[in-house]
Amino acid sequence: MIETPYLLFLGDAPDPLAAKVAQGIKDWRPEYAVGQFRMEGCKADMGLPDMSLAEAKAAGCKTLVIGVANRGGVISPAWKKVLVAALEEGFDLASGLHNLLRDEEDLAAVARACGRQLHDVRVPTVDYPIANGKKRAGKRMLAVGTDCSIGKMYTALCVDKEMRARGLKSSFRATGQTGILITGDGVPLDAVIADFMAGSIEYLTPDNDADHWDLIEGQGSLFHVSYSGVTLALIHGGQPDALIICHEPTRDHMRGLPEYKLPSIEAVRDMALTLARVANPACVAVGCSINTQHMSDADALAYCAEVEARTGLPTVDPFRHGAGRLVDALIAV
């Protein structure tokens, strides 16, 4: 568990896109995003107060989160002075970068000397059990997609936000690095050992109140040959009561697989439902979430209407249009 709130480290981000982890935290957990730390030449700006380490400490920040990615995911030597000073000031550090904080000898030594934590969220820290498939109390929604990187995390976060706004009980359950940094907790599923994948999701979504919703971040796609096993572990470990099918209409092939076309929304719905019902016979598909970021307003609305007519399921871009209709459908389950 990563201690909150955060000071978001933007470093020397060459452009706003390089700071998309910080952007995700600021978009989805503004209450955790107390301030930003920018180095000379930083081209990203979250619109948060620029703070020195001492100011952030005084404002209650507990963890400095590396909210920026370099090309190659490395920990830049230019950042080291700040990171070392942050440990000395009493901050923990958190990172989702490919290169690990713990593998930097200087950071590891200072963290040890100062009694601070280094959180490398790409690495599982729990010995997850093997899944036992036992029915758990509470409700669970899983976002499944026609492809990878198609809006499954944003869909679950939009639903969570709408549920919270209505005073309903919900938890966004992160299964990837950015989601974990947004929430401070979760399972880095793509780094879990095969035998324990489904068990890690059971661990992530334990028994809960009967009217509580776990909103589980999906990963991969049943139709993406590189990662489909991860997706199926989510479906069986999550034992969802409800699925939301995610799609991005402008993509012309599966991410990273130029020879593979995207499946239809209907094919994903039918396959995911059949498999989900092995673990939870009551599972239903409640809606479709369309990532319309590359479409005009008119095209976005027209496309959603077309999918809704075809599938009979409420269909929206929850980030653009709000998740109200998806939440209506979930609470009707």
Stretch that binds its own copies, among 1-9, 219-227, 286-294, 309-317 (CB under 8 A): 219-227
Helix (H, G, I), strand (E, B) or coil at 143: strand
Nearest to 224 by CA among 303, 152, 309: 152
Task: State which residue, 44 or 235, has the beta carbon closest to its own copies.
Answer: 235
To the nearest whole angstrom, how small is the minimum distance from the Cβ of residue 86 to its own copies?
30
Residues 255-294 that bind its own copies (CB under 8 A): 256-257, 259-260, 263, 271, 274-275, 278-279
For residues 99-114, one letter each, b for 16 or more C-beta atoms within 10 angstroms of the residue's C-beta and e for the rest, the string is: bbbeebeebeebbeee
β 212-216/33-38 pair status: unpaired
Q: Which is nearer to its own copies, 215 or 279 (CB)?
A: 279
Phi/psi-derived region of residue 310, left when phi > 0, alpha when psi is between -120 and 50, beta in every other case: alpha
Residue 11's SS3 state is strand
Pick between residue 32 and residue 227 the one whose CB is nearest to its own copies.
227
With CB under 8 A as the contact rule, the residue among 13, 233, 262, 286 that binds its own copies is 233
Q: Which residues contact 144 (CB under 8 A, 6 or more apart)?
A: 152, 218, 221, 222, 231, 235, 243, 244, 245, 246, 268, 272
For its own copies, the closer of residues 11 and 199 by Cβ is: 199
**Binder to its own copies among 103, 106, 127, 195 (CB under 8 A)?**
195
- 250 binding its own copies? (CB under 8 A): no
Per-residue binding letters, 161-190, with its own copies (x by CB under 8 A): ----------------------------xx
CB of 83 vs its own copies, minimal distance in Å: 27
Minimum distance, C-beta of residue 265 to its own copies, in the bound complex (Å)? 16
What's the rounded Cα separation, in Å, for the pair 307 and 309?
A: 5
Candidates 110, 144, 230, 323; binder of its own copies (CB under 8 A) is 230
Structure tokens at 120: 């490398």
Q: Which residues pair with 247 in a beta bridge?
A: 290
**Burial per residue of 165-188, b for 16 or more beta-carbon CB atoms within 10 angstroms, e otherwise:** eeebebbbbbbbbbbbbbbbbbbb
236 lies in the binding site for its own copies (CB under 8 A)? yes
Binding to its own copies (CB under 8 A) within 123-142 occurs at 130-135
User: Does 203 contact its own copies by CB under 8 A?
Assistant: no
Q: Which two tokens stand for residue 53?
A: 């380490």
C-alpha closest to that of 187 among 199, 195, 211: 199
Return the residue of 51, 157, 181, 232 that touches its own copies, per CB under 8 A: 232
| Shorter beta-carbon distance to its own copies: residue 194 or 298 | 194
Q: Which is nearer to its own copies, 109 or 130 (CB)?
A: 130
Nearest residue (CB) to its own copies, 151 versus 199: 199
Least distance (Å) from its own copies to the CB of residue 308? 25
CB of 309 to its own copies, least distance (A): 26
Helix (H, G, I), strand (E, B) or coil at 125: coil
- Choose, by CB under 8 A, the member of 165, 193, 282, 333 that binds its own copies: 193
CA–CA dist 69, 189 (Å, integer): 20
Please give the biggest Cα pair distance in the chain: 62
Of 130, 128, 135, the C-alpha closest to 279 is: 135
Residues at the site binding its own copies, with contacts judged by CB under 8 A: 130-135, 189-195, 197-199, 222-223, 225-233, 235-237, 239, 256-257, 259-260, 263, 271, 274-275, 278-279
